[in-house]
């Protein structure tokens, strides 16, 4: 146990790619927490997907021992948080467990939308902030300008900002000193009943559920019995430990400390993030405030390409859900795709991550259907239905009106691209709420339908601004609009998995775009194929995919028999992976690609 005065708990706030994980790596390395030979990049990101995409998805924790210039020994607990908007809830709860943050800004880029979103969360959590200007080794680095921008946009003093190159190690020592000097020590009472915050939890195949905790008061000891206050369940603590970043067992954790416990808990769902953990008897009376659980906002269908793999998919989804309480699912049957699951996600990145993990870790190839948001359908009889899947849209004659979710989007962009960003937001039915400048960067705030954003908005934004725009959003509420269900017919057969909800005024345009896309995505067949978009019984767009005219091997002699037979057999197997609608084979990628709008 460490005395409170010698503990510092902190997180790192940064926009994606501003060097957060690299800075964390350097802090760990500089203090000798991990031996050089065990060092690898993005040390705290343990999932393959995190390393590959250079993002952090799960919050990770490391305990660092540091002897400061004043000769005193400190324990620094870092919680590394995700940078992406989809995982904002994860950021907010991690921040509640620490007292301060390093505000890392890329000195070649400046403040970005996620810097802002995360910094506001830190301010909301009463954090002390230490500004760090990173990437000073790059020629484009401009610390004065960026420090000024931090003061202008965020409104905190950046005069003492530390200049760092996480790449070369310059400024790392100064950063460690600043953590000790400027961040407050935690508060807490040792002689009090245990009061610990359940920060996060995840499943480990060997140890069961691992619970990340921050001790507020009292002591957590191995062997004691604890109570989870939200559901009054009792658990016997098997292990207590800290992360370095590998697990290291300790006997106890005291006030201000961050570590983990295991208690033979089988499911992540039995542990509620934000819960208060206390002694089973004579525990604290007062529970912590707790967090609002994250709600899925984007839904899509996941179907196995090979329908025989449905049970495998069920198992994979069950296992992933064990570790991710924000991911919801229920069985879905599609006339086109057979059995699958309708799944709910926090956002598109979350969707992609789960989909990638199922495909990669469980080896199941998936067809992903068009992402949808939750619509509120008000029936004429006064009933309100939640629509997660356009295929379930009730008969329009019984519907009074529809509401769709809206968001407040904050976009930061260099002013030369502002015009393109405004155009994109207008195209997506956005209503401008604010437009301000910080130097040559504009900050625009838009009220947008979530439906227009979940799909390819971020990709389009990046493409029209050559990657210079940053984007963040929060849900605001529901609003009535003129929405209709658009169906797609391929060779005169409706394909339920391609149905989407669209605004009536944009239906023709979207319908045309989808038909054109599908015409490119569906391979030519031996016959011509009409592709139509329709609202109810009315066709609003039509394309015709002409018949295949040439597919023949010019030379096929004795020496070609084996190779060409195998090639044809392989192509046939590939064809089987497509979905058959009537007599038409639709490639699996078509279900998503058809929706992408090229602007």
Q: What's 170's DSSP letter?
A: B
Q: Which is nearer to other proteins, 37 or 572 (CB)?
A: 572
Would you count residue 307 as binding other proteins (CB under 8 A)?
A: no
- Is the Cα dihedral 327, 333, 335, 338 positive or negative? positive
From the CB of 482, what's the least distance to other proteins, in Å?
42
Q: Which is nearer to other proteins, 231 or 571 (CB)?
A: 571
From 286, 556, 580, 599, residue interacting with other proteins (rule: CB under 8 A): 556
Q: Which is nearer to other proteins, 208 or 523 (CB)?
A: 523
Residues 6+ apart with CB under 8 A from 106: 14, 15, 17, 18, 19, 134, 135, 146
Q: Are 127 and 119 in contact (CB under 8 A)?
A: no
Residues 6+ apart with CB under 8 A from 132: 23, 102, 103, 104, 105, 161, 162, 164, 171, 175
* Spatial distance between the Cα atoms of 65 and 433, rounded to a whole number of angstroms: 47
Per DSSP, the three-state class of 5 is helix
Q: How many other C-beta atoms can be found within 10 angstroms of the C-beta atom of residue 266? A: 10
* Spatial distance between the Cα atoms of 48 and 62, rounded to a whole number of angstroms: 19
Residue with tokens 């599908």: 518
Q: Which is nearer to other proteins, 384 or 548 (CB)?
A: 548
From the CB of 582, what's the least distance to other proteins, in Å?
12
From the CB of 313, what's the least distance to other proteins, in Å?
24
From the CB of 300, what's the least distance to other proteins, in Å?
31
Would you count residue 37 as binding other proteins (CB under 8 A)?
A: no
From 564, 588, 596, 597, residue interacting with other proteins (rule: CB under 8 A): 564
The stretch among 180-188, 200-208, 511-519, 564-572 that binds other proteins (CB under 8 A) is 564-572
Burial 223-233 (b: 16+ CB within 10 A, else e): ebebbbbbeeb
The stretch among 64-72, 266-274, 362-370, 563-571 that binds other proteins (CB under 8 A) is 563-571
Would you count residue 577 as binding other proteins (CB under 8 A)?
A: no
Per DSSP, the three-state class of 338 is strand
Would you count residue 575 as binding other proteins (CB under 8 A)?
A: yes
Would you count residue 306 as binding other proteins (CB under 8 A)?
A: no
From 140, 205, 308, 552, residue interacting with other proteins (rule: CB under 8 A): 552
Q: Are strands 100-106 and 7-14 parallel, antiparallel or unpaired?
A: parallel
Bridge partners of residue 438, in order along the sequence: 441
- Residues between 500 and 539 with contacts to other proteins, criterion CB under 8 A: 525-527
Q: Which is nearer to other proteins, 335 or 548 (CB)?
A: 548
The stretch among 243-251, 397-405, 422-430, 556-564 that binds other proteins (CB under 8 A) is 556-564
* Spatial distance between the Cα atoms of 139 and 133, rounded to a whole number of angstroms: 14
From 400, 568, 580, 589, residue interacting with other proteins (rule: CB under 8 A): 568
Q: Which is nearer to other proteins, 140 or 526 (CB)?
A: 526
Q: Which is nearer to other proteins, 3 or 306 (CB)?
A: 306
Q: How many residues bind other proteins (CB under 8 A)?
A: 26
The stretch among 89-97, 310-318, 368-376, 562-570 that binds other proteins (CB under 8 A) is 562-570
From 71, 191, 549, 598, residue interacting with other proteins (rule: CB under 8 A): 549
If we measure between CA atoms, which residue out of 540, 502, 541, 535 comes closest to residue 518?
541
Would you count residue 333 as binding other proteins (CB under 8 A)?
A: no
Following DSSP, what letter does each residue of 572-599 receive, concatenated? HHHHHTSEEETTEEE-TTHHHHTT----
From the CB of 569, what's the least distance to other proteins, in Å?
6
Q: What's 504's DSSP letter?
A: G
> Both tokens of residue 214?
């921050």
Q: Which is nearer to other proteins, 249 or 567 (CB)?
A: 567
Would you count residue 571 as binding other proteins (CB under 8 A)?
A: yes
Q: Which is nearer to other proteins, 54 or 530 (CB)?
A: 530
Would you count residue 562 as binding other proteins (CB under 8 A)?
A: yes
Backbone angles phi and psi of 26, in degrees to 5: -65, -40
Would you count residue 554 as binding other proteins (CB under 8 A)?
A: yes
Would you count residue 555 as binding other proteins (CB under 8 A)?
A: yes
**Secondary structure string (H, E, C) spanning 298-327:** EEEEEEECCHHHHHHHHHHHHHHHHHCCCC
* Spatial distance between the Cα atoms of 138 and 121, rounded to a whole number of angstroms: 29
From 73, 360, 398, 565, residue interacting with other proteins (rule: CB under 8 A): 565
From the CB of 366, what's the least distance to other proteins, in Å?
23
- Round to the nearest angstrom and report the end-to-end CA distance of the chain: 58
Q: Is 426 left (phi over 0), alpha (psi -120 to 50) or beta?
A: alpha
Would you count residue 308 as binding other proteins (CB under 8 A)?
A: no
Q: Which residues bind other proteins (CB under 8 A)?
A: 525-527, 548-559, 561-562, 564-565, 568-569, 571-573, 575, 583
């Amino acid at each position: 146990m460490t005395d409170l005065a010698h503990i510092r708990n902190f997180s790192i706030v940064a926009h994606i790619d501003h060097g957060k994980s690299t800075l964390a790596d350097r802090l760990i390395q500089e203090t000798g927490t991990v031996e050089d030979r065990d060092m690898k990049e993005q040390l705290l990101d343990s999932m393959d997907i995190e390393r590959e995409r250079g993002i952090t998805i799960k919050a990770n924790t490391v305990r660092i021992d540091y002897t400061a210039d004043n000769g005193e020994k400190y324990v620094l607990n870092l919680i590394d948080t995700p940078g992406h908007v989809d995982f904002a809830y994860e950021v907010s709860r991690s921040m509640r467990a620490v007292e301060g943050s390093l505000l890392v800004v890329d000195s070649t880029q400046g403040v970005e939308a996620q810097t802002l979103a995360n910094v506001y969360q830190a301010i909301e959590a009463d954090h002390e902030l230490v500004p760090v200007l990173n990437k000073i080794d790059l020629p484009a680095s401009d610390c004065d300008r960026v420090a000024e921008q931090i003061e202008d946009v965020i409104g905190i003093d950046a005069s003492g900002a530390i200049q760092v190159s996480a790449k070369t190690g310059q400024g790392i020592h100064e950063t460690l000193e600043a953590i000790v000097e400027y961040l407050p020590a935690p508060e807490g009472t040792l002689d009090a009943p245990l009061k610990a915050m359940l920060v996060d939890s995840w499943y480990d195949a060997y140890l069961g559920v691992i619970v990340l905790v921050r001790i507020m008061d009292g002591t957590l000891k191995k062997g004691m019995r604890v109570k989870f206050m939200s559901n009054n369940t009792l658990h016997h603590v098997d292990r207590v430990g800290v992360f370095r970043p590998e697990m290291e067992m300790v006997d106890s954790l005291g006030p201000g400390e961050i570590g983990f416990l295991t208690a033979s808990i089988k499911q992540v769902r039995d542990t509620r993030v934000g819960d208060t953990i206390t002694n089973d008897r004579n525990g604290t009376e007062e529970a912590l405030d707790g967090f609002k659980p994250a709600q899925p906002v984007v839904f899509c269908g996941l179907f196995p390409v090979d329908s025989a793999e449905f049970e495998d998919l069920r198992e994979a989804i069950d296992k992933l859900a064990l570790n991710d309480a924000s991911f919801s699912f229920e069985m879905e049957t599609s006339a086109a795709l057979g059995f699958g699951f309708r799944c709910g996600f926090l956002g598109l990145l979350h969707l992609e991550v789960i989909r990638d993990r199922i495909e990669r870790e469980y080896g199941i190839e998936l067809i992903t259907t068009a992402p949808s948001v939750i619509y509120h359908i008000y029936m004429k009889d006064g009933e309100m239905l939640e629509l997660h899947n356009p295929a379930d849209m009730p008969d329009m004659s019984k519907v009074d009106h529809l509401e769709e979710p809206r968001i407040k989007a904050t976009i930061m962009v260099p002013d030369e691209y502002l015009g393109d960003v405004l155009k994109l937001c207008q195209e997506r039915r956005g209503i401008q709420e604010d437009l301000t400048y910080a130097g040559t960067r504009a900050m625009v705030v838009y009220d947008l339908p979530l439906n227009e954003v979940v799909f390819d908005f971020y990709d389009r934004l990046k493409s029209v601004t050559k990657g210079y725009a940053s984007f963040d959003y929060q849900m605001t509420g529901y609003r009535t609009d003129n929405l209709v269900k658009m169906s797609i017919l391929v060779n005169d057969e409706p394909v339920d998995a391609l149905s989407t909800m669209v605004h009536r005024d944009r239906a023709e345009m979207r319908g045309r775009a989808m038909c054109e896309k599908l015409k490119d995505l569906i391979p030519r067949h031996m016959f011509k194929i009409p592709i139509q978009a329709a609202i109810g019984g009315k066709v609003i767009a039509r394309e015709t995919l002409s018949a295949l005219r040439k597919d023949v091997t010019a030379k096929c002699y004795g020496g070609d028999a084996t190779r060409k037979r195998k090639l044809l057999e392989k192509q046939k197997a590939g064809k089987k992976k497509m979905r058959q609608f009537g007599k038409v084979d639709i490639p699996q990628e078509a279900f998503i690609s058809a929706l992408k709008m090229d602007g």
